[in-house]
Structure 1
């Protein structure tokens, strides 16, 4: 049965924004400022990150236009590379996204608990309960069908955009003055060289790329978009344009209001901006808004990730039961339920979220580089398509080469900063490759015996 085309340009653009703007922009600027040491390098890192994301957006826009299918982010690996690579990378992505949902929902629960619970009830158990209930609520929303969940996502994304715009307004309520002039310090104590600045930029881009990541999952909805060949590229470009604008503006607000030296070690940077605007009530207002932002992140991941699992089920990388849909609303019931369960289970291990993230960022960077490289294969295999019906990026192949080179630079920077995380990430990746071949061996053996 053909899939219903339910998503419009606005729907998909809002999904792009919610896939990218999570909790990262409310904490990663501290990491970037610490690594950058000077404001010039801080803003350069965000400019470079935005430009790289734009190159990636244009690349994925063309990939999605040439290959508009449900679970597209999985299938581009399956079509362009060996199925074992597709299975391993997507397992990593699904598990890390489930961990992100658990961790982010827990952070939202921590904010909300300080508003709705008394001091003696603000324990880990209550926060986990609030986080679990949040995930379950949006699991139920997604059971109502794609259109209902996408409309819910539109509302939550608009709230998220309004929150960021509100925080940016803190620049009109005074600025931080500091007599300290930021200095770039080297490990040798000698004046900084271009190599020192390059290494610092690489470390900055780890957090920046995390803050900009997520938009590539938009191509998972390719089979459910009205006029996909036009809408997918437009939605990615519009969504990312909104994101880059908001990110640059709020980072300017952080530096202007908090002060660059203070930003390096500040906590709850968004709360500081809210306090400038709303006074003592700022934390309460911000807590509620951040909780809504978290709900948007939870919902969009419950929208996107089951589609990758569905695609893996279609190609027998996962059991075929993962392709099961409800008759009424065509909900990917098994994939959605399994992803939700993984997210809830990892809530009980949320204290290890940062460690999980360190391992998976390394692999995510490799996955981004390999998935973007699929454009070279697709350009050849879909050369027969009518150019008037698909999106074709300008400045090809410069754009995808810049994007791929940037993410390879990030992987090298991660390895240099934390070689254990990179090594363990590769071990996890090879483990999933092994699982693929073991599963395939037993499936072939079972088919032979029948």
Structure 2
């Protein structure tokens, strides 16, 4: 506890000043780009990128879809850059909904993302990590432990890293992103070698076999856009980003463009080495590519998948815990979840909750079907968040906007998001979509009694105090910073 002393004649007055416990700005431009790239590039590009090719029917159109999906992600990233620099708070879409006067939408977003979307994503990625890890036990001739046990231990390891130190989590992200880009670089270089040896036959055929079905083309975009999911990761940790007014838009743009180029050349390499038929027949494209080009050294590819999935899971855990932290600070979740460790300056409790739910998600036998039923919800919230750009242009026309995008950019992205929400429901209507919708709306059962009417009346104060003492955490108020990095308190001292 700090003390300030002031002498007034013979009277000594003591003022006790609470030290501010808040998240530290440990994420720079390079680590920010790593969070974006590492979160986008998970296991998909290494395992089975054949969905787009199956729907489009031709090599040429499939490559166009990959690039167009990158452009669409870039539109979203640009819109999020305006929102993130105008409202420099952690939590991704959550603070944008709050600022656009949509507290109910913000609550439903935090409810859905906390309980299902992010934990399921972490669980699925770690299950993929576990499935590839077991192959090494077979390779060594040892009995493999259960995949779910490996996945749970992986989640636990990632949570410990994120609880211990933000800089450490950022370093992990940079390392594993560099490792996966190195592996992808091997694939791209191998593709160019194959093209030089006459492997461009598939590319010469171009648009042969292109589908004439608009619905299939739309579904190919849907598949590709999910491969780009994670482009908004950095907006979840704005308060931990160094110089966010410069680094947030730079990292968003560089990260998405880098992934777009990587996806394009990686698919070209797959086609040059395996051919169209070989790619469509493969369930693990990177491994089959490795067997064709690297021979006995193909073991590099499963290792690349391990690095890729671990990095993606770390990015998901990092970002999802910041959303829990932001929602709890607004009392849309238990406020204690927004408390920060007094020594580590990490959101220990929000990371812990994310990890526990993710481990629970590993238990069901088919997590993939669960996330499929809620996939439309993610794009619904993406579209609403980007539309907040348009809303805030009218509601706060004179607000400070370090980045201001052309108004058609958020409008185009919103229209595409609406289609991505409606398309799977129209294409394959199932009862599960109704159950998913009811689950989202079901969050209102907690919103009105506990958020609007605050019926708890301090019933959990003793529990909160116990958790604070046990975990060494303290409240973390948001302190607005201006472009110079000065806080409200610092500006007040300067003005006086």
Helix, strand or coil at the partner of 1:443: coil
Determine the structure 2 residue equivalent to 1:410: 420
CA contact (8 A) 1:106 1:347 kept: yes
Structure 1 residues 163 and 153, CA gap change in structure 2 (3 angstroms)? same
CA contact (8 A) 1:37 1:184 kept: yes
RMSD over aligned Cα, in angstroms? 2.4
Shift of 1:445: 6.7
Helix, strand or coil at the partner of 1:354: helix
CA contact (8 A) 2:23 2:340 kept: no
Structure 1 residues 229 and 382, CA gap change in structure 2 (3 angstroms)? farther
Structure 1 residues 107 and 447, CA gap change in structure 2 (3 angstroms)? closer
CA contact (8 A) 1:68 1:228 kept: yes
Highest Rg: 1 or 2?
A: 2
Determine the structure 2 residue equivalent to 1:159: 179
Structure 1 residues 127 and 78, CA gap change in structure 2 (3 angstroms)? same
Determine the structure 1 residue equivalent to 2:143: 121
CA contact (8 A) 2:79 2:410 kept: yes
- What do residues 135-189 of structure 1 show as CA deviations (whole Å, max 9, x unaligned)? 222212112221111112111111111111112223124648689995356xxxx
d(CA) in 1 for partners of 2:157, 2:225: 30
CA contact (8 A) 2:321 2:351 kept: yes
Give the length in aligned residue pairs. Answer: 431
Normalized per residue, the structure richer in helix is 1
Shift of 1:316: 0.8
Determine the structure 2 residue equivalent to 1:344: 359
d(CA) in 2 for partners of 1:319, 1:233: 32
2:392 to 378, 383, 392: 378
Determine the structure 2 residue equivalent to 1:361: 375
Determine the structure 2 residue equivalent to 1:105: 126
d(CA) in 2 for partners of 1:5, 1:182: 51
Determine the structure 1 residue equivalent to 2:268: 252
Determine the structure 1 residue equivalent to 2:454: 443
TM-score by length of 1: 0.89
CA contact (8 A) 1:65 1:229 kept: yes
d(CA) in 2 for partners of 1:102, 1:109: 10
Shift of 1:120: 7.0
Q: Which has the higher contact order (CA 8 A, sep 6+)?
A: 1
d(CA) in 1 for partners of 2:233, 2:77: 11
Alignment partner of 1:309 is 2:327: no
Determine the structure 2 residue equivalent to 1:230: 246
Determine the structure 1 residue equivalent to 2:108: 88
Structure 1 residues 60 and 22, CA gap change in structure 2 (3 angstroms)? same
TM-score by length of 2: 0.81
d(CA) in 2 for partners of 1:46, 1:148: 33
Structure 1 residues 84 and 28, CA gap change in structure 2 (3 angstroms)? farther
